[in-house]
């Protein structure tokens, strides 16, 4: 692992660029298998579609700027006070709110990581400090610890993307308590937490009431709602009040609010997702690991981190997949990784078998 500072460099684009991919390869959208964005293939839940169906007349009204209903659904679902929740137009906007109100002089990032973390910090004039992990991507608290001081912001991601590691509470909680005692802030992005049946044991939610810890969540991945954009934050009441005073009151549209409320009430869909992932992830990972020229790194999230034997192997595999209408996530520009690394979403058995068949043709 390396520790270092530095400004924002040219950052990789987000996954899920299915429209640009379809145009580039002259394919209709329905023929593209998007394995670059780790979206639940079982969704959106039927309960969400049913909730949205009668809402067309609501389009002539402004959305609820207090997000009252969905905040109370989330409070019940996660066991927190609704007054400690605020909503945003996706998890990225929620992080933007955090940096906007806290105004940290320095923002610490654990990388490889989502490129928007650095973009948000730069947008608000916060100096980016980086800790870069190497496999097996153990929690780097010991490297962060000497540098974190009062008024800093530490941004963590658990389960971690792109490795898929889910760090147990014992690995990170002592560090969080130490940093917050110094006066630093910690924001934990738990966008993939909903996929884990033991999420409550891994989440930092219970620390938010003590102050200086904030949690970011998203409906995008679990409930297959990237087109509607819904994220939320949980934190101390005074931070929520400061966010509410400054945020755009209309950024979360009414369809997104109703969809998220229906999704987080749907316990049956969550259990269905646990069963699918528990069965399909190991099957898919084992099948990929048997292919020549690629290694699957351990993880628990709804995607696989792949390490190719060489840059040439990775490029050939990605090129063959693209020619067959399959888009995977290149990690060539991610700090600590490079052209030998890719991330692949776990999808339905049929979609995964299609990808495996094309990978086999590319690698053999």
CATH for the 7-43+268-363 domain, from 3.20.20.150, 3.40.50.1240, 3.90.1150.10, 1.10.12.10: 3.90.1150.10
3-state class of 305 per DSSP? strand
Residue 282 has pLDDT above 80, yes or no: yes
Neighbours of 363 (CB within 10 A): 16
Q: What is the mean pLDDT of residues 21-37?
A: 85
For residues 46 and 32, which has the higher predicted lDDT (pLDDT)?
A: 46
Residue 280, C-beta contacts closer than 8 angstroms, at least 6 positions apart? 346, 348, 349, 352
3-state class of 333 per DSSP? coil
How confident is residue 16, by pLDDT bands cut at 50, 70 and 90?
low
| Cα distance between residue 274 and residue 116, in whole Å | 28
**Model pLDDT, residue 9:** 37
How confident is residue 7, by pLDDT bands cut at 50, 70 and 90?
very low
What's the fold here for domain 46-266? 3.40.640
Residue 265 has pLDDT above 70, yes or no: yes
Of 277, 332, 274, nearest to 308 by C-alpha is: 332
| Cα distance between residue 157 and residue 167, in whole Å | 9
Share of the chain above pLDDT 90, in %: 87
Q: Helices 267-289 and 349-363: crossing angle, nearest 10°? A: 20
**Model pLDDT, residue 254:** 95
How confident is residue 14, by pLDDT bands cut at 50, 70 and 90?
low
**Model pLDDT, residue 286:** 98
Q: Do residues 193 and 216 make contact, with C-beta atoms less than 8 angstroms apart? A: no
The DSSP secondary-structure symbol of 311 reads H
Range scoring the smallest mean pLDDT among 1-5, 42-46, 66-70, 264-268: 1-5
Q: What is the mean pLDDT of residues 4-13?
A: 45
How confident is residue 15, by pLDDT bands cut at 50, 70 and 90?
low
How confident is residue 13, by pLDDT bands cut at 50, 70 and 90?
low
Tens digit of pLDDT for each residue in 82-130?
A: 999 999 999 999 999 999 999 999 999 999 999 999 999 999 999 999 9
How confident is residue 27, by pLDDT bands cut at 50, 70 and 90?
confident
Q: What is the mean pLDDT of residues 59-81?
A: 96
Listed by start position, the domains of the chain span 7-43+268-363, 46-266
Kindly state the tokens that stand for 345: 């979403």
**Model pLDDT, residue 319:** 93
**Model pLDDT, residue 10:** 40
**Model pLDDT, residue 20:** 86
Residue 157 has pLDDT above 80, yes or no: yes
Tens digit of pLDDT for each residue in 171-223?
A: 999 999 999 999 999 999 999 999 999 999 999 999 998 889 999 999 999 99
Q: What is the mean pLDDT of the chain?
A: 93
Residue 93, H or E segment: helix 91-102
Share of the chain above pLDDT 70, in %: 96
Q: Which residues of 133-250 form beta strands (DSSP E)?
A: 153-157, 185-189, 213-218, 231-234
**Model pLDDT, residue 176:** 97
Q: Does 7-43+268-363 match 46-266 in CATH topology?
A: no
């Amino acid at each position: 692992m390396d520790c270092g500072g530095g400004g924002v460099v040219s950052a990789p684009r987000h996954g899920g660029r299915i429209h640009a991919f379809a145009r580039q390869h002259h394919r209709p959208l329905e023929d593209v298998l998007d394995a670059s964005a780790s979206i639940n293939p079982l969704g959106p839940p039927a309960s969400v579609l049913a909730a949205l169906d009668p809402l067309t007349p609501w389009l002539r009204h402004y959305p609820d700027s207090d997000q009252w209903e969905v905040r109370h659904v989330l409070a019940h679902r996660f066991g927190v006070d609704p007054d400690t929740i605020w909503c945003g137009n996706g998890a990225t906007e929620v992080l933007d709110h955090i940096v906007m109100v806290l105004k940290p002089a320095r923002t610490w990032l654990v990388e490889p990581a989502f490129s928007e973390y650095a973009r948000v910090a730069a947008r608000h004039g916060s100096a980016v400090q980086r800790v870069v992990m190497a496999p097996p991507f153990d929690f780097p608290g010991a490297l962060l610890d000497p540098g974190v001081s009062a008024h800093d912001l530490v941004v963590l991601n658990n389960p971690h993307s792109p490795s898929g590691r889910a760090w147990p509470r014992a690995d990170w909680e002592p560090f969080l308590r130490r940093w917050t005692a110094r006066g630093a802030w910690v924001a934990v992005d738990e966008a993939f937490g909903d996929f884990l049946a033991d999420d409550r044991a891994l989440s930092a939610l219970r620390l938010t009431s003590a102050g200086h810890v904030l949690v970011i969540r998203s409906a995008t991945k679990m409930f297959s709602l990237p087109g509607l954009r819904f994220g939320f934050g949980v934190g101390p009441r005074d931070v929520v009040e400061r966010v509410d005073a400054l945020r755009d009151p209309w950024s979360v549209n009414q369809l997104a609010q109703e969809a998220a409320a229906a999704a987080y009430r749907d316990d049956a869909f969550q259990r269905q997702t646990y069963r699918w992932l528990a069965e399909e992830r190991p099957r898919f990972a084992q099948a990929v690991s048997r292919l020549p020229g690629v290694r699957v790194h351990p993880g628990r999230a709804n995607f696989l981190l792949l390490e190719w034997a060489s840059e040439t192997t990775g490029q050939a595999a990605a090129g063959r997949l693209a020619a067959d209408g399959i888009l995977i996530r290149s990690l060539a520009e991610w700090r600590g990784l490079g052209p030998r690394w890719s991330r692949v979403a776990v999808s339905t058995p049929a979609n995964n078998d299609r990808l495996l068949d094309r990978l086999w043709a590319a690698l053999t």
